[in-house]
Amino acid sequence: MKILILNCGSSSIKYQLIDTDSDPSALARGSVERIGMKGAILNHNRIDGDKVKIAGEIVDHQAAIEYILAILLSKNHGVLKERDEIDAVGHRVVHGGEQFTGSVLIDAEVMDGLQDCVDLAPLHNPHNIRGIVACQRLLREIPMVGVFDTAFHHQIPDYAYIYGLPYLLYKRYGIRRYGFHGTSHFFVSQQAALRMDKKVDDLKMVTIHLGNGCSMAAVDRGTSVDTTMGFTPLEGLLMGTRSGDIDAGAVMHVMGREELSLGEVNTLLNKHSGLIGISGESSDMRDIVEEMEKGNDRARLAFDVFTYRVRKYLGSYAAIMGGLDAVVFTGGIGENSPQVRAASLKGLEFIGVDLDKDRNFAKASGEREVSADSSRVKVFVIPTNEELVIALETKRIVEAL
Ligand code: ADP
């Protein structure tokens, strides 16, 4: 089954075309950037290495999807002969609220439900909806499936998701912790179980997704029982430009002192905090490590805050699950930064986590084990593949029609 996977953001769309019946690596993948702005560009990569960049006037999401379809069908760079070779479209949807606890076939009722979730994720869901509507116009007969970032966390117990606020706010506005990156946490936990040749139902794991956004999940016998992101993707770990955990009292204090509006404080916490905020240098972990190694103290502090939080949550997740069998690193930083992995797991031998220095620092890519043979808790690096999960979910739902 050939499935087009779309991940629609505010000014960008990432896409992959996956044939689930053959090699699960994408036949083609790419992105459209700067939608609605000057200098919009499509980057397209075919599985055989063919690459092309196309600049154009791409005014909105529909125009972007038209470009994507055109390149997928193009004689020189395409992978399809006919549009109807696409059997289904899988959409990444950021927020499913309490309503969507698993992937769904998109119909009129689901569209209403997605609209209801806009209030919960005003920065993300409207763009996902825009992409779906554009596809409905362009690919009328083709079934579409929504796969939610929040769904894997839907079984988190109430005592982990309720904030210490008046309960009325939960009932009235759905203010609670939801968690994100669910597709990634699901994928890497399943892969880790496969590598261990064990059933996921027999394992207690902590999955650590460190990219531009960062989150961790406590995965107890295949179910996410807690995660670091909350009502929005702002809570929890320190991130490239997001603060992660912070005392709401500190935010109110700064708002008062600096006379910040709601919009300004939103930008402060989401765009000017985290690694860039503390270091004043960069939101990119490569730059932070480089600066730290040159002796830059603020970069060292940003690195220490970042890795300390990972360590702190790891300990607390081992405690809430009453044990730990595996730790999995993924995401751009988790997969590529041995320094971050080493510092995050430092001193955790007492709970059975023993990183192998050579394996951790070896120049390698792809799935690998980085714990010592003697380590009771296995530590893995597993590149995430959210698109593959979306493709398999889409196939499962479409085949059941
Ligand atoms: P996203 O969350 O947008 O999908 P990625 O998972 O691709 O992002 O992660 C992007 C981040 O990965 C970059 O900001 C960079 O800090 C980090 N990164 C990529 N390669 C390395 C590396 N070799 N060492 C350290 N960090 C890296």
Q: Is the pLDDT of residue 89 over 80?
A: yes
* Residue 48 bears catalytic tag: no
Distance 273 CA to ligand 1 centre (A): 17
Do the domain assignments include residue 397?
A: no
Say if residue 336 is in the same domain as residue 216: yes
Rounded-to-integer distance, Cα 93 and Cα 129, Å: 8
Q: What is the pLDDT of residues 262-309, one digit of tens each?
A: 999 999 999 999 999 999 999 999 999 999 999 999 999 999 999 999
Tokens matching residue 94: 């950021």
Tell me the best of 286, 290, 339, 341 to mutate to test the pocket of ligand 1, counting ligand atoms within 8 Å of each CB and taking the most.
286
Looking at the structure of the chain, the number of domains it has is 2
Mean pLDDT of the region 1-12: 95
Closest residue (by CA) to atom 22 of ligand 1? Answer: 336
> Looking at the domain assignment, is residue 39 inside a domain?
yes
Final residue before a domain boundary, out of 115, 148, 181: 148
Q: Quote the pTM value.
A: 0.96
Which residue range(s) make up the domain with 284?
197-381
The confidence band for 33, taking pLDDT boundaries of 50, 70 and 90, is very high
| Angle, alpha carbons 252-254-260 (nearest 5°) | 90
pLDDT higher than threshold 80 for residue 23? no
396 falls within a domain: no
What's the confidence (pLDDT) of residue 124? Answer: 87
Q: Which of 181, 144, 226 is nearest to 394 (CA)?
A: 144
Q: Which of 19, 87, 149, 220 is catalytic?
A: 149
What are the beta bridge partners of residue 90? 5, 145
Ligand 1 pocket test: pick from 237, 239, 285 the residue with the most ligand atoms within 8 Å of its Cβ.
Answer: 285
In a domain? residue 389: no
Give residue 122's pLDDT: 86
Say if 324 falls within a structural domain.
yes
Residues 142 and 237 in one domain: no
Asked if residue 336 has its Cβ within 6 Å of ligand 1, the reply is yes
Element (H, E) at 227: strand 223-227
